[in-house]
Amino acid sequence: MTRIAMDQYSLRPNMANVNQAAQDQDMFEQALGEPVNENELREIAPRIANDWRSVARYLGFGEHEICNIDANNYGAGRGGIEETALQMLIRWQRRNGQQATRRILIDALRNAGFQAVAQELEGNIN
């Protein structure tokens, strides 16, 4: 009986650590809800360039708008697919303002198959 009582006490969580973990999680959730910034978009664009259209669809762009972005940004002297991906992200950010959050972008990246990029963006929040 004494051994069981000791094991129960050793498994009791340290409340200071629990409270700190809860605060850290709250801060992380708050940061996810903040608008994405242009530097973050510039880091992401080259990594999604080969399939930026898929990300665009998950960010709410329709096919006509995707075609317009492509036509306006891809071509000789315009920066190619990386610049096109960046311009799509910037258009999304400007169109949505404060609602262009990290959480929405991370979800779109994951849905489009860019788990590593999404995870890296989340990691930069901490």
Contacts (Cβ under 8 Å, ≥6 apart) of 94: 100
> What is the C-alpha separation between 108 and 37, in angstroms, rounded?
16
Contact present, 111 and 42 (Cβ < 8 Å): no
Contact present, 48 and 109 (Cβ < 8 Å): yes
Q: The tokens 């510039």 sit on which residue?
A: 42
Residue pLDDT tens, the chain, 126 long: 445 444 455 566 566 565 555 555 555 556 678 999 999 999 999 999 999 999 999 999 999 999 999 888 866 456 789 999 999 999 999 999 999 999 999 999 999 999 999 999 988 775
Distances (CA, A) of 24 to 68, 101, 121: 42, 19, 17
> Residue 65's closest CA among 50, 52, 78, 82?
52
